[in-house]
Structure formats: C-alpha cells, structure tokens
Amino acid sequence: MQSSAARIPWQVIEGNHEEEVVEGKLGFLAYEKRFHTPSTFSESNTNLYYSYEVAGLHVIMLGCYADYSRKSQQYAWLEKDLAKVDRSRTPWLIVGMHAPWYNSNVAHQGEMEGMRNTMESLLFEYGVDAVFAGHVHAYERSLRVYKGQLNELGPVYINIGDGGNREGLSNEYIKPSPRWSAFREPSYGMGVLNVMNTTHAVWQWHRNQDGIMVIGDEIDIIRAGQSQIPVAEIMPSCKGYFLGAFRRIYMFLQRLVQPPAPHKFA
C-alpha cells in the first residue's frame, strides 16, 4: 500500500482482519499504533471511530468492531459529532464503515443488524447522504432506504468491498433481490465519488477488467430534499443514461487535451 498511500491521502477504518490477539488480549493494537487518523480533531479518543472534514464533506468513520450499543462511548461520540455538523459549511454528510448494514449477498448476511438497529435512526435524523462499506467481496448499491423500506430521505448505501483479496469474490446473492437493492455484481473493481456542488454528486463504479472509459454503474446523488424528482426514480432513467454518456465523452476529451501527469515512484 506504500506506493498508493505516498501520493493519495488515505483514511482508514478497522475491519475484522485487523483484530488480533496480543499477549492474550483481543484487540486492535497494531491498527491503533500504525495508522494515524484525525481522531483528536473529532474529539474521539480512538482510531476505531472518528470523523474528518474535506471540502464540503463531513465524513464519519464508524467502528463495527467497537462497542456500538446505546450506552457505549461510540454512540455518545456519534451523537455529539452529528450535532456539531454545520451543513452550510459541509453540506455533504457521508459515513464509512467496514461491514455493510444493507447487504443482499449471502456472505456476511445480517451480520451488522445489531449496529443498524442501534444507529440507523440517528443517521436518518441527521440526513446522512451516503454510507460506504466493504467486507463483502462484491459490489452493491442501494436506493435510498431506511429501516428496510424505500425512503426518499434515507441514505444511499454502497458496498465497495470488491477491491481484491485472497479469499475470492462473494458470488451468491439472496433471491429475489430486495426492493432496496438497485445494483449488485460480484466483480473486482473500484469507485469514485465526484462531489460537483452543494447538492449534486456523481458516483461511478468501474470493473477492473474494463477500460477506464467503461463505467459499470453510475448514479447522480442529489441531496435529499434538494430535487423535485424522487431520487429513487432517477437511477435507471434515460436521462441518466444520456447525461452519463455526455459526461464520459467530456471526460475523454478532457484527458486528451490535458492528460493526467504521470506519477513517479521512489
């Protein structure tokens, strides 16, 4: 990871693979010591959950493997952190965590129901725009959802656990697909969230085997309450398809005119 971390800012959050037994104690000692996070900035006393701000985004990293009960320090910290978000300064409110709350893959099915039941209403109350997770080795995107039902004010959930691993892909899905699941595919890939302005962002997912110009999945994320068009209905529309095509042509021409500078590795 050094070559990537040397040129791209990383923000990490613990997963199940970072948990280890050191001197008979189960914990995240290596993770806590090796990674630096803005935990102090966000008044968290641990790297297991923290938040940071960049451009117009307030990003909350939640700990799936720290106590998340209503009486926990993490819950109290989350309430406090959400309450101090200034949406006029950081209109986008994004959450990241290791294991997904919404997952229709057979792998890790229902694992985070306890955490979802405890914290989902809090994220909903504060109008979280999107939640990103990994853990399941496949790609899945939801419609806006809250408590299992489509809800225009709920977040979009994106499982981007398809970065590659030694265990292979998670190929088996629950059938039929739940209503909230908009796109699911067991392929290796990566995604980019382009925040365009205070209300509009574009999420694009790429499969590894495709060329850079090929987008496997793409949506416009319009902040809840900022559009007359129900967000849940925008996704597969013709309008979205043509806008996406124009955007790809524009990005292609932009790359021709001004190719990205090559990166030098030490």
Closest CB to Fe ion among residues 104, 170: 170
Residue 253: CB minimum distance to Fe ion, A:
39
Least gap, CB of 135 to Fe ion (angstroms): 4
How far CA 78 is from CA of 61, 69, 97, 193, 205, in Å, comes to 10, 11, 13, 23, 29
CB of 17 to Fe ion, least distance (A): 6
Q: Enumerate binding residues for Fe ion (CB under 5 A).
A: 15-16, 135
Q: Nearer to Fe ion by C-beta: 190 or 251?
A: 190
- Tell me how far, at minimum, the Cβ of 260 lies from Fe ion, in Å: 31
Q: How many CA atoms lie within 13 A of 236 on its CB side?
A: 6
Residue 135 vs 223, nearer CB to Fe ion: 135
241 CB contacts (<8 Å, ≥6 apart)?
none
For the sheet with 156-160, list strands across it.
50-54, 57-61, 92-96, 130-133, 156-160, 139-142, 181-185
Q: Determine contact, residues 101/131, Cβ cutoff 8 Å.
A: yes
Our CB check for Fe ion shows the closer of 19 and 79 to be 19
d(CA 60, CA 62): 6
Which residue, 16 or 171, has its beta carbon nearer to Fe ion? 16
Q: For strands 181-185 and 139-142, give the pairing.
A: antiparallel
Q: Which is nearer to Fe ion, 15 or 155 (CB)?
A: 15
Least distance (Å) between residue 42 CB and Fe ion: 23
Q: Please check whether residue 234 is in contact with residue 220, taking contact to mean a CB–CB distance below 8 angstroms.
A: yes
Coil, strand or helix at 178: coil
Catalytic residues: 108
Least distance in angstroms from the C-beta of 137 to Fe ion: 9
CA 118 to chain centre: 19
> What distance in Å separates the CA atoms of residue 213 and residue 204, rounded to the nearest whole number?
11
From the list 128, 18, 105, 126, the residue with the least C-alpha distance to 63 is 18
Report the relative pairing of strands 92-96 and 145-146 from DSSP bridges: unpaired
